[in-house]
Structure 1
Amino acid sequence: MKEFMLAGVSSGVGKTTVTLGILKGLANMGYQVQPYKVGPDYIDTAYHSRITKRPSRNLDSFMIPDKDSLAWSYYKWHQDADVAVVEGVMGLFDGLGTDKDCASSADIAKKLNIPVILIIDGKATSTSAAAMVHGFSTFDPDLTIAGVIVNRVASKNHYELIKGAIERYTDIEVLGYFPKNTEVELPSRHLGLIPDVEMENLEKTFAILGRLAQDSINLERLLEKVEKKEQTVGTPFQVKSYAPLRLGYAMDDAFHFYYEDNLDFLTDLGVTLIPFSPLKDESLPDADAYYFGGGFPEIYAKDLMTNVSFRASVLSAHEEGRPIYAECGGLMYLGASLEIEEENYDMVGIFDGKSVMTPRLKRFGYCEATTRVDSLFGPKGTKIRGHEFHHSVFETQEETVLNMEKSRDGEVVAEWTGGYQKGKTFASYLHVHFYQKEALLHHWLEYIREAMYGNSH
């Protein structure tokens, strides 16, 4: 088994571009590649999945604080793969606060014993690159940096200059480079890439990236340096069946931000998942409960509004008492309206309020919620880890049901309230990973079963 993490010295060095190129290059060479992404990212993972034809998984030590559960989220998925490739987040040691081991790529690499390939930006540098690599390679002796890839080099001569300096002043091998190439610059929005479902000609872009990786990076040498012994890891979770529960979940261009682990966890517990589209379907499918994940409903606001029959079916399901759970974009959809540049679009109307798009991020990053009422997550006082990332505010008189706080280096740096519960419908801006505490998912499923079948089970 071969495995490695591609980590940058900072955000903006082109990690994702290099990662996509290497994924495509390895796929071209006939390898079965299992991709991963460090941190709470739904967009990069979708790009990974498009190339490898395998769902990319998130590795997140804040969202999944238990080491055994984190290990399961990694080892479970590459047992039948040739190579595991992990894309880091931000810079190698950047995480939550100043602690290099708090939710950083380095933290994941050490906990899972994954060697790191360091990506540096070669633009406008030569020998100074060696000082950067030296610093990163000696900063944490418990971390294995197996090689370096230089991005955005001006020419082959420029690359040879940087490579010579790094290998003269450090003992880290330089494995290749990516040239500057405007053909393959991927556009971004809200500090991240635009979702793959909104992009055209992606296959052409992937083909170019794969060719660049194969031409300019010694992939065979890279794989020689990251061989690892097979490791067997068993599930840390309670195996229990909730069959025949049926859960409908929104899956289309407007709603597609889900942790793959959450969906698989539901399936492992015997739940039948039924995808539906608020953009295209006439009504909700028949199910015991419904799950609206995040996405970009603001991009499709007019189409969502125009699908009147579907919105009516969601409101009807709520009024019938069918449990509904919504995260972020799902909350925006379940409100009465969505305002974009002073234009209003009608939404479902379960909650009496409107989402207003804002020019700047309103919330960004990890946080912890404490429930103020009994809810699908558990009794009042249940704690939930998650993250918020949104360019909107929900203006409403509805009472909030979550106390939220953000901590950094052991200190609370922000507090607010959020989340709304009406009948059996719960919605908030919080994205939740159920591997953090399996009791959260078990309680949700018991909640659904109780709501739909009473004590008959």
Structure 2
Amino acid sequence: MTNRRIVIAGTESGAGKTTITLGLMAALKDRGWCVQGFKCGPDFIDPAFHTAVTGRVSRNLDTRLLGENAVKEVLDFGSRGADIAVIEGVMGMYDGADPLSDEGSTAHIAALTGTPVILVVNCEAQARSAAAVVKGFQLFSDQPRIAGVILNRVGGSGHYELVKAAVEKECSVPVLGYLKANTKLHLPERHLGLVPSQETKDLPAYIKRISSRISETVDLERLAELAVCPEPEYEPVLFRRRKGEERKGEGAKIAVARDEAFHFYYEENLDLLKSYGAECIPFSPLHDSRLPEEVTGIYFGGGFPEAFAAQLAENREMLRSVREKVENNVPVIAECGGFMYLCKKLVDMKGKAYNMAGVIEGNIQVHHTLQSIRYLDVTGNDISCVALEKGESLAAHEFHYSSFSGRMPDRNEFPNLFASYSHLHFGSCPEAAGRFAALCSPLNRNSN
């Protein structure tokens, strides 16, 4: 099969990357193509929209969380069986962790994987000047390769033709099409970015609308031609197992919180747990009354518990069920939103307090301003439930608008609990996933 993939990069945040990406995914799928989505960086919300459009779980490509080799492995692993991979960039094309290098940027991912770039340019209130913008992005670095341009927020077909002529003449790169300025193509936002796909009303109608617009004004055949590129070369590290390790988590039944309030997961974390023999069982803290009795571990990802605080608080049976499991020393990972759920109270932006599980003797206050955004490394001093060995660490990311006040439990109280604002990525240390799966296995517990 011909290998096809493209990176959708923007000249800046807000240029229209997500709109163009979703439109291309939808239009290609409507033509019978199997489309795989990816997102540069640690974002959870955009990949959920990709998944809703394509029907395939979108994955993150982040060199800080995974390293360069594993990024290429995730790209290859996730693309298997797809006709084309569409990789959505992050911020502006060259924006990353370091203002003096491309590290962690969309450009870095594109160059690392040898993927051609389609640059999205916001053409509102400019014509020939758009060519200068494209030229600047071309000359800034000889890697990656800008293979084509899509113009966003143009005034109409006449405006498009003016900009197209200027860009193609001055930059020698094809302009593949455009989208007109249209508020009906905007998705609603709130404090962490877009309102998640799980909460977006009339999402199927939106997908149909954006697919139609892209099909009318973008040359999909030419885009498919430009997307042809070699497969990435890498050494498999994520799912490679030493003999005898494949079933170390056999019998583990890990309850994974999945509903409107909790849905922020790096898919490789779940893949890795399964690869060690664990079973991942979805449950809803919002809608289910109790955890399944056979559960031997719990994984709470992040999400928006603050948006559903009243419903979570009203589901007292589930709160009691979770509390009982933690108190009985069932292994638990609770990241960000999950950490908030395990605390005593959650206080929303209006000052209203809601009772949560009460495992942690502290409260969460949601603020109007961002409290933390950072990468970090979690070490064995921070986490016990995955038994990090000396010299090992797990890469993680934080992005939250709330703060914690109170006392965190020590290891003697809950030795198998990890609760933090940090979103862990097992891809940075796959063995840690195996140890958590093994800790959740009743076979291992019974043998001790």
From 405, 422, 428, give the equivalent of 2:414. Answer: 422
Letter of the aligned partner of 1:120 in structure 2? V
Q: Which residue of 1 aligns with 2:365?
A: 356
Q: Which residue of 1 aligns with 2:260?
A: 253
Local SS of the residue matching 1:183: helix
Q: Is the Cα contact below 8 Å between 1:34 and 1:54 reproduced in 2?
A: yes
- Consecutive unaligned residues of structure 1, counting only runs of 5 or more, are 402-419
TM-superposed deviation, 1:422: 3.0
TM-superposed deviation, 1:256: 0.7
Q: Which residue of 2 aligns with 1:128?
A: 129
Letter of the aligned partner of 1:315 in structure 2? R
- Consecutive unaligned residues of structure 2, counting only runs of 5 or more, are none
Q: Which residue of 2 aligns with 1:454?
A: 445
Change (3 A) 1:231 1:7: closer
Is 2:168 the partner of 1:161?
A: no
More strand per residue: 1
Is 2:16 the partner of 1:14?
A: yes
Is 2:192 the partner of 1:200?
A: no
Q: Is the Cα contact below 8 Å between 1:374 and 1:380 reproduced in 2?
A: no
Letter of the aligned partner of 2:179 in structure 1? F
Local SS of the residue matching 2:325: helix
From 392, 395, 398, give the equivalent of 1:385. Answer: 395
1:91-112 CA-to-partner distances (Å, cap 9, x unmatched) read 1110002143211111111111
In 1: Cα distance, 2:356 partner to 2:50 partner: 32
Q: Which residue of 2 aligns with 1:263?
A: 270
Q: CA RMSD in A?
A: 1.9
The alignment-based identity, stated in percent, is 38
Q: Which residue of 2 aligns with 1:343?
A: 352
1:230-262 CA-to-partner distances (Å, cap 9, x unmatched) read 567663233222212111110111111111121
TM-superposed deviation, 1:374: 5.9
TM-superposed deviation, 1:307: 0.6
In 1: Cα distance, 2:324 partner to 2:236 partner: 39
Q: Is the Cα contact below 8 Å between 1:373 and 1:379 reproduced in 2?
A: no
In 2: Cα distance, 1:24 partner to 1:226 partner: 16
From 404, 408, 425, give the equivalent of 1:398. Answer: 408
From 309, 316, 325, give the equivalent of 1:301. Answer: 309
Change (3 A) 1:191 1:172: farther
TM-superposed deviation, 1:170: 1.1
Letter of the aligned partner of 2:445 in structure 1? G
In 1: Cα distance, 2:173 partner to 2:39 partner: 24
In 2: Cα distance, 1:234 partner to 1:142 partner: 23
Is 2:109 the partner of 1:101?
A: no
1:266-303 CA-to-partner distances (Å, cap 9, x unmatched) read 22221111111111111111211100100000111011
TM-superposed deviation, 1:367: 2.4
1:341-369 CA-to-partner distances (Å, cap 9, x unmatched) read 22110000110001001110100132233
Change (3 A) 1:400 1:394: farther
Query: Could you state the TM-score of these two structures normalised by the residue count of structure 2?
Result: 0.93
Local SS of the residue matching 2:374: strand
Change (3 A) 1:86 1:280: same
Local SS of the residue matching 1:426: strand
Letter of the aligned partner of 1:347 in structure 2? M
Change (3 A) 1:9 1:17: same
1:51-75 CA-to-partner distances (Å, cap 9, x unmatched) read 111111111111011x322111110
Change (3 A) 1:41 1:373: closer
Q: Which residue of 2 aligns with 1:437?
A: 429
Q: Is the Cα contact below 8 Å between 1:188 and 1:194 reproduced in 2?
A: yes
Letter of the aligned partner of 1:173 in structure 2? P
Letter of the aligned partner of 2:447 in structure 1? S
Q: Which residue of 2 aligns with 1:113?
A: 114
Local SS of the residue matching 2:362: strand
Q: Is the Cα contact below 8 Å between 1:100 and 1:107 reproduced in 2?
A: no
1:185-239 CA-to-partner distances (Å, cap 9, x unmatched) read 1111125110011111111111111011111111101111221245676632332
Change (3 A) 1:265 1:369: closer
Q: Is the Cα contact below 8 Å between 2:114 and 2:230 reproduced in 1?
A: no
From 322, 327, 352, give the equivalent of 1:314. Answer: 322
Is 2:288 the partner of 1:281?
A: yes
Q: Which residue of 2 aligns with 1:413?
A: none
Q: Which residue of 2 aligns with 1:34?
A: 36
Is 2:33 the partner of 1:23?
A: no
TM-superposed deviation, 1:440: 2.2
From 3, 13, 27, give the equivalent of 2:5. Answer: 3
In 2: Cα distance, 1:387 partner to 1:298 partner: 19
Superposed counterparts of 1:229-240, under 5 Å: 229-230=230-231, 235-237=236-238, 238-239=240-241, 240=246
In 1: Cα distance, 2:189 partner to 2:382 partner: 38
In 2: Cα distance, 1:421 partner to 1:162 partner: 65
Number of positions where the alignment pairs a residue of Structure 1 with one of Structure 2:
437
In 1: Cα distance, 2:34 partner to 2:422 partner: 34
Change (3 A) 1:261 1:126: same
In 2: Cα distance, 1:303 partner to 1:75 partner: 40
Change (3 A) 1:209 1:104: same
Q: Is the Cα contact below 8 Å between 1:368 and 1:384 reproduced in 2?
A: yes
